[in-house]
Chains A and B, each alone.
Chain A
Amino acid sequence: MSIEISDVNKRFGDFVALEDVNVSLPTGQLTALLGPSGGGKSTLLRIIAGLEKADTGTVSIEGVDATRMSPQKRNVGFVFQHYAVFKHMSVAKNVAFGLEIRKRPKDEVRARVDELLRLVHLSQFADRLPSQLSGGQRQRMALARALAVQPKVLLLDEPFGALDAKVRKELREWLRRLHDEVPVTTVFVTHDQEEAMEVADEIVVINDGRIEQVGTPDSLYDRPANDFVMGFLGEVTRLGDVRLRPHDIEISRSPDLAGSSPADVLRLTRVGFEVRLVAGTEDGREVSVVTTRAHARSLGLAEGERVWLTPSSGAATVPAMTPLVRAELAG
């Protein structure tokens, strides 16, 4: 394991940012710290980088105890949400900064900077100032700058948070490809579950300063450990006493399946290839169901029709114990 975090606690005054956090982040992988804002994920990342000190607990990086090490000595690359560019230096100078600090020979620095700028597709901007770059380009420069010193781990704090949706999507795919090319252990913080699911090998879900679940995107989606994880990773609805995903509900026109609940179709919306319907059950709740257009047509669904709903076999379900509101807000 590349990064080991044991019994870490961190408070800011009365606010508990992290509580008894224990987690191992695997070497060479792309890990996402996922959770709502203010949940403690950025604090954890900053503690790994040494920019914040844990009140108690230890952090080890690549088998070396880094708990009391200064950020200068940890050899981690850090990328900030708002780029943190050195405004008065050219793009090439920004990237060269860490190497110049280490007093590497000029030729080596130049070669390495060229190589990195090629990697992040900024070769033609080497002599520009950061203010002449777009947000996405600045963040790629910041990434090249962090990679220049060949860090043991690369840490990204909401790296695409300040970018618009289209650029964010491009950069996210690009980060995935970059990681496949340069397989340095990477940890990134995000509150966007789609981003985490799409990019990460492994996801650590953090909420209220605690780790809720650790696992691959698939395992988290299919086997959520609790209500919160389920609600945070995708849409959730409630059918009877269980909570499950709207696409995991089977619709039939007759009550022949065991455990099916009768409901009336209240609203029907077609979005592209899928059909979303809201049905009212007899206990007065509304259930959302997602199905394909072809299936909806074959069943002859329409508003006001009676249907019977059953959780499909193998559906991820959790008992409905907490109020629905919280998960719906998060999801």
Chain B
Amino acid sequence: MAEDMSIESYLAAGGVLTNPTNVSARYRAELMKLMTTFVDSELAGAAGFADVINAGPGIKERIAAAKIVLEKTDNADKVLKIMGEFGVDGDRYANHHPWTARLARDADIGASRTEQDMRLAVFNYPLQGWADAVVMNLLMGRAVAVQMAEFSMVSYQPLAEAFRAIAPVEARHAELAEEGVAKLAEAGDNSALQASVDYWWPRVAASFGSGESAKADSLKAMGLRKTPNAELKTRWEAETKAVLDKLGLQAK
């Protein structure tokens, strides 16, 4: 039996890795970046949303917000466990950074990360009250759905499985956000909602990364990416515009 295939050609042919001893140093590094980006974004997202729970106008809204905080933290934990198999001390990791920290509302950081953590840039902006939080959660929730579909196919099987389990949970968060925005829209608060959409739309869009990434080819060869950033962004724009349209809101 031909057993002399290199891991690189195996991955390029669509092969799947299953445990930490399979991975090469460069694959490990890219995989860790992918995982820390997800974990940091979930922890920062949950931390930011936690502050908004009490702003929920009714008990149903507060329950939904608390559930989202709980489940995003749990999703982070699922991926943190996989990082643990690579030697990361999950307890220490979860506490090594102040996840509630935010920049100013008008900070202009584009898609760049801060020095201290790997959260997507969008999670560095502060939420302003309930309606703003729900709008952000709707736009970002739709983005996460697109990202999860992509990352459920990564070549590291334990992570792909974690994302497949996480995807429906995150999808539900986007649904809850949509219900929340619909309720606010019914109450006739459209200009504030539209202002939030205007604020968050370009920032969520930036979280898909730049149109052309020098890394894209090597990530593709490693099976860590399949679809170009621009294509994912276009998908998100189309899907989310349709949702906003239903709600009487516009993407600019």
Instruction: Indicate whether A and B interact.
Output: no
Residues of A within 8 A of B (CB): none
